[in-house]
Chains A and B, each alone.
Chain A
Amino acid sequence: MNRFEKILKWLTHIGTGLGAFFLAGIMVLIVVSIITRLFGRVVPGSYEMIELMIVVTVSFSLAYTALKQGHVIVNIVVSRFPERLQSFCAVFTCLISLTFWGALAWAAYQIAVEKGILEVTEYFLIPYIPFRFVFTIGLLLVSLIFLIEMLKSIKRGFSK
């Protein structure tokens, strides 16, 4: 499990770096399009390029947030439970979370395959499919991170 966790963390960090790179790209592209607009020109297709680039950013940001346990939870009730019961709740919520994100990843994959290369952007005719697959990978990473968390919670529960 240790190795699996390390690989997962590594993949998430690589993805987050890529997402951050695309975020920087979005920022620069928008600034360039504003500057060119001042001179009466437009950057063609910038709108659709941003819509594609933001997919990479958000897909991996979801995974990074899960890795850093940054998804918003309400722990005012659970924190008052005995430790063993807290571990049980953590197992239960991780199981639901991994199923939810896993189901979204499966649905995203199905749609990507179904739409195939025929779904393209309006201006540059860029296929959506690579970005749909990136989204699937991001969701899958989130699901796997919750799987690791669930296994850790089970281990914690048994050790108490």
Chain B
Amino acid sequence: MSGVTIGFIGFAMLFALLALGLPIGVGMGVIGIGGMWYLISASAAYSKMAIPPFETVANYGFAVVPLFILMAQVVFVSGMGKDLYNLAAKWLGHKPGGVAMASVAGCAGFAAVSASSMATAATMGLVALPEMKRLKYDHALATGCVAAGGSIGILIPPSALLIIYGILTESSIGKLFIAGIIPGILEALFYIATIYILCKLNPSLGPQGERYTFKERVLAFGSCIELILLIILVLAGITIGWFTPTEAGAVGAFGAIIFSSIRGRINWAKLKIAFFDAMKTSGMIYGILIGAFILNYFLAVTRIPFIVSEYVAALPFPPLGVLGLIMTLYLLLGCVLDGAAMMLLTIPIFFPLAMRLGFDPIWFGILICRAMEMAMITPPIGINVYVIAGIAPDVPMEIIFKGILPFLIADIFHVLLIIFVPSVAMFLPNLLTQ
């Protein structure tokens, strides 16, 4: 049997094992080792067991993962994320659908300290959903806007998925982060516009909240001024080149601990929770990374990435057609796999193809993350939907998915904008390269 055949059999076995509930990192590692053993030798398989895992772990660049996760955990346990919502609610809450708009704005703000979409949805869900319930918001709009808003966490830096993409493709994580800023902000604006249109058509969906005086609104900045400054410092630091992404993660985590301590928002017990939760999430990501790197060696031996890119490039489709197919495939894969696993499994195959088609690696990375954001809110998995369902157990899952539908339509327009106007993603990175 040829290497390609073995490779495809390996993939089929991998999906079968994952369906049986095998941890994704283990599945990738086992198929990688087994495949190397079959195609080359036992000693080749042994060397891939012995060397890449330690190299993956003892890596300065990858330390960005636990540091940014720690930053997000500190902001989460200290409750500083809620202040961002309160700020947005004071400015927007009095408009029709205003609290929903504030939730999306709060999600965008929290996304700037969080590397995870789930954490963003959970944080904003906990503070915004009770408020929307009090104001008698439509359940579908209330839950849908927070689930969709949470997905912004992937695009606005720091982003765990952009970090993984950068590691896998050897693209600049700093550039990826910068490229995610404008699309992330635009995504939030698209969602806010969606809420505006929905509430304009049917004002009962989102009744108006309290109106605050201008002084009260300005004073609301005071409660989260440090967090805003920290976000600006981290993003500006990466953008201007003061820090590497790993250093930015350390500055962010350190700043979050200092600021929350000064405010009296964190104590020893909460800090311990933040560190242990950061350890748990980091272990989850590294577990997949170790398996993925072993699998990648096997894939390279099978030459599948090369052959797939040759085959697809020869198809009578324009590059944008191929891109459309890739995006659709991600949406389908998102029905059964989580974002990190999806990326680690597919990027070794799709990235060479994208490069062959002449796509910019940074732009392609933003689009891939955008597709994953959509996958996080589409049925049947839609992980953010499960997070929101956990916070609002009285709202049936179908209602949440119904509430997400208008935001998915907004997502399609947003993705088309990034595809046809690449400067949306590339303006900032290009500006800095000049």
Contact = CB atoms under 8 A, between A and B. Distances in A.
Chains A and B bind each other? yes
Contacts of B251: 30-31, 34
B315 interface: no
Contacts of B21: 73-75, 77-78, 89-90, 93
Interface in B45-65: 46, 49-51, 53-54, 57-60, 62-63
Interface string B269-292: 000100110111111101110100
Contact of B23 (A54, A78, A97): A97
Nearest to B380: A76
**Chain B at the A interface: SS class:** helix
Contact of B278 (A23, A33, A59, A131): A23
A20 B66 CA distance: 10
| Interface range, B side | 35 or more
B22 interface: yes
B26 A110 contact: no
Contacts of B29: 100, 104
A91 B15 CA distance: 18
B196 to A, nearest CB: 35
A64 B287 contact: no
Interface of B: 17-26, 29-30, 33, 46, 49-51, 53-54, 57-60, 62-63, 66-67, 70, 242-243, 246-247, 250-251, 253-254, 272, 275-276, 278-284, 286-288, 290, 336-338, 340-341, 380-381
Interface in A50-108: 50-52, 54-55, 57-66, 68, 70-78, 89-90, 92-93, 96-97, 100-101, 103-104, 107-108
A139 to B, nearest CB: 8
A107 B287 CA distance: 16
The interface centre, meaning the residue of A23, A75, A110 with most chain B CB atoms within 10 A of its CB, is A23
A61 B250 contact: no
B283 A65 contact: yes
The interface centre, meaning the residue of A33, A63, A72, A132 with most chain B CB atoms within 10 A of its CB, is A72
A123 interface: no
Contacts of B288: 72
A20 B276 contact: yes
A31 B250 contact: yes
Given A73-B21, A74-B337, A28 B254 contact: yes
A97 B26 contact: yes
Contacts of A64: 276, 279-280, 283
B283 A131 contact: no
Interface of A: 16, 19-20, 23-24, 26-28, 30-31, 33-34, 47, 50-52, 54-55, 57-66, 68, 70-78, 89-90, 92-93, 96-97, 100-101, 103-104, 107-108, 110-111, 128, 131-132, 135, 139
A24 B59 contact: no
Contact of A51 (B17, B59, B66, B280): B59
Contacts of A70: 280-281, 283-284
A100 to B, nearest CB: 5
Contacts of B67: 23, 26-27, 30
B63 A54 contact: yes
A146 B25 CA distance: 14
Contacts of B287: 62, 65, 71-72
